[in-house]
């Protein structure tokens, strides 16, 4: 305080004190270095210590924004404003942090502090603040608006800021659960006392996101991602809910009362669809339409998944959302018809097109099976005339859930930026994994026994916003999991 007073002088007091406080601003310093990762070790000329986030190491010692605002008020007795309120995280945690700061400002104001404003910082997002701008990674964090499209796109944060500024109130189903800094702590292994989180009184049971097809590849990814993010979700398999049965769907919706439904169910056997047209149509078209209608009747947000196979590959460039579908096979036709039916029934529905999944939780995707064979010294034969844009499942799940929270509608393309032939992508991945890429043999797709026609080049791009990291980043993330070295016995025998 003395230094500030000396700097401004008694005759020039500040009109307002600005407080920039972040979730991780409060630090826990511990001289027991052995229990902490090396990157947390720091110190000064006199002492060595680990410097970690108080909310992770000992949550009971972290006071939070209300306590800190009261401390500033008690010391300076001058008008206050929160001049930065931002969190680089997934959308629901961004909402939860701004909501907590807003509540803290009103709390201390009710106790006599002269709090004038809360500023939602980073209206248009930030670049590389994940490293405090010390590295040029290209990491982008959306703020009130997401600028990765042709025009700034308002996120749920913008809706929240507008509501708070005009009415002082905002509600969203994602706010029913606590932020990660208020949830049960993870077992970080720190020696600091891991006390229980503060009790914040009884909470109502949050309305969930309902995910159909929960045992499928995408359903598993979505439920895992939602759980990691603290989003309450309920996953139902085909055995638990026949999505073709309107009565059953209606009963489940009335019973569970979800605020959003994501349809990850459907017919996925592209080649079998050529000789099983009726089943493919019922699961991909009729079921999606049934879910859309039941959700629309109840005012529930609805999202369904579509595919790059709605295109014929003749464009000669990546496809964007406004390109006209021209499917080649039965599966692609079913997805194109489902898109049209869903948006006709529920114009506010979200339709996400994606392609060629790969990820750490699926034993059967093209990369995991290929790398597993290469690790055994077995040659792999892949198409060298099909240009694809693969999608890393964790990235897809996170981007999709952000769009659901934002209340987005219409058709969106979600795929990692970049592409190549199937054979080339497997070779690139093998080289990064330290495997023998020469064992990857390219051949025309006509020799691979496909029954269904495939587009020669159906890479997805977006005119609405490139929300996914690059394919190179996705491959690095995937390789870090060493998924091909693990075999999920249950999945292999399912």
Query: For residue 5, what pLDDT is reported?
Result: 63
Domains of the chain: 2-26+63-171 (no CATH), 209-493 (3.40.50.720)
Query: For residue 206, what pLDDT is reported?
Result: 84
Query: For residue 493, what pLDDT is reported?
Result: 39
Is the Cβ–Cβ distance between 362 and 220 less than 8 Å? Answer: yes
Q: Does the pLDDT of residue 491 top 70, yes or no?
A: no
Question: What are the tens digits of pLDDT across the range 412-441?
Answer: 999 999 999 999 999 999 999 999 999 999
Query: For residue 484, what pLDDT is reported?
Result: 82
Relative to beta strand 387-388, strand 410-413 is unpaired
Strand (E) or helix (H) holding 80: strand 80-85
Question: What are the tens digits of pLDDT across the range 28-80?
Answer: 899 998 888 898 999 999 999 999 888 888 777 778 899 999 999 998 899 99
CA 444 – CA 427 distance, rounded (Å): 16
Query: For residue 192, what pLDDT is reported?
Result: 47
Query: For residue 361, what pLDDT is reported?
Result: 87
Question: What are the tens digits of pLDDT across the range 6-34?
Answer: 666 666 778 889 999 888 888 889 999 88
Is the Cβ–Cβ distance between 386 and 422 less than 8 Å? Answer: yes
Name every residue whose Cβ is closer than 8 Å to that of residue 213 and which is 6 or more positions away in sequence: 219, 237, 238, 243, 263, 264, 265, 266
Q: Which two tokens stand for residue 414?
A: 């979600």
Catalytic residue from among 331, 392, 450, 478: 331
Question: What are the tens digits of pLDDT across the range 167-203?
Answer: 999 999 999 988 888 876 554 555 544 434 444 444 5
Query: For residue 15, what pLDDT is reported?
Result: 86
Query: For residue 196, what pLDDT is reported?
Result: 42
Q: Which two tokens stand for residue 28?
A: 């826990």
Question: What are the tens digits of pLDDT across the range 454-463?
Answer: 999 999 999 9
Q: Does the pLDDT of residue 107 top 80, yes or no?
A: yes
Binned at pLDDT 50, 70 and 90, residue 364 comes out as confident
Is the Cβ–Cβ distance between 420 and 387 less than 8 Å? Answer: yes
Question: What does the DSSP 8-state code read for residue 319?
Answer: B
Asked about 49 being catalytic, the answer comes back as: no
Helices (H), 179-269: 217-228, 246-256
Question: What does the DSSP 8-state code read for residue 96?
Answer: H
Q: Where are the beta strands (DSSP E) in 251-315?
A: 260-263, 301-307
CA 218 – CA 221 distance, rounded (Å): 5
């Amino acid at each position: 305080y003395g230094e500030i007073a000396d700097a401004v002088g008694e005759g020039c007091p500040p009109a307002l004190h600005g407080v920039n406080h972040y979730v991780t601003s409060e630090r826990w310093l511990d001289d027991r270095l052995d229990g902490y990762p090396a990157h947390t070790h720091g110190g000064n000329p006199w002492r060595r210590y680990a410097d970690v986030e108080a909310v992770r190491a000992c949550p009971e010692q972290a006071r939070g924004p209300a306590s800190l605002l009261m401390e500033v008020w008690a010391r300076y007795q001058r008008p206050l404003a929160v001049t930065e309120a931002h969190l680089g995280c997934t959308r629901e945690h961004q909402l939860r942090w701004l909501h907590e700061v807003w509540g803290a400002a009103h709390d201390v104001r009710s106790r006599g502090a002269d709090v004038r404003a809360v500023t939602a910082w980073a209206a248009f997002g930030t670049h590389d603040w994940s490293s405090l701008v010390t590295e040029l990674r290209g990491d982008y964090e959306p703020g009130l608006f997401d600028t990765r499209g042709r025009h700034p796109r308002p996120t749920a944060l913008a809706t929240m800021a507008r509501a708070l500024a005009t009415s002082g109130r905002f509600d969203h189903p994602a706010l029913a659960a606590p932020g990660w800094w208020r949830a049960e702590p993870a077992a970080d292994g720190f020696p600091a006392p891991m006390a229980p989180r503060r009790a914040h009184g009884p909470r109502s049971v949050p309305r969930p996101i309902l995910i159909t097809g929960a045992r499928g590849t995408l359903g598993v990814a979505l439920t895992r991602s939602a759980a990691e993010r603290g989003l309450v979700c309920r996953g139902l398999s085909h055995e638990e809910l026949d999505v073709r049965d309107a009565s059953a769907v209606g009963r489940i919706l009335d019973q569970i009362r979800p605020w959003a439904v994501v349809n990850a169910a459907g017919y996925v056997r592209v080649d079998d669809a050529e000789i099983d047209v009726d089943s493919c149509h019922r699961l991909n078209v009729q079921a999606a339409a049934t879910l859309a209608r039941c959700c629309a009747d109840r005012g529930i947000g609805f999202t369904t998944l579509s595919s790059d196979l709605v295109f014929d590959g003749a464009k000669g460039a990546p496809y964007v959302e406004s390109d006209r579908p021209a499917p080649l096979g039965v599966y692609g036709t079913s997805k194109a018809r489902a898109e049209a039916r869903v948006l006709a029934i529920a114009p506010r529905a979200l339709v996400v097109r994606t392609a060629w999944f790969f990820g750490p939780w699926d034993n059967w995707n093209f990369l995991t099976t290929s790398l597993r064979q290469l690790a055994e010294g077995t040659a792999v034969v892949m198409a060298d005339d099909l240009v694809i844009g693969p999608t890393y499942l964790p990235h897809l799940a996170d981007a999709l859930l952000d769009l659901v929270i934002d209340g987005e509608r219409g058709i969106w393309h979600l795929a990692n930026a970049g592409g190549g032939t199937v054979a080339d992508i497997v070779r690139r991945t093998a080289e990064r994994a330290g495997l023998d890429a020469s064992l990857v043999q390219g051949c025309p797709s006509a020799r691979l026994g496909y029954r269904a026609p495939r587009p020669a080049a159906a890479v997805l791009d977006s005119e609405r916003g490139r929300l996914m990291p690059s394919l190179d980043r996705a491959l690095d993330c995937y390789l870090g999991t060493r998924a091909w070295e693990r075999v999920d016995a249950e999945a292999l025998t399912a």
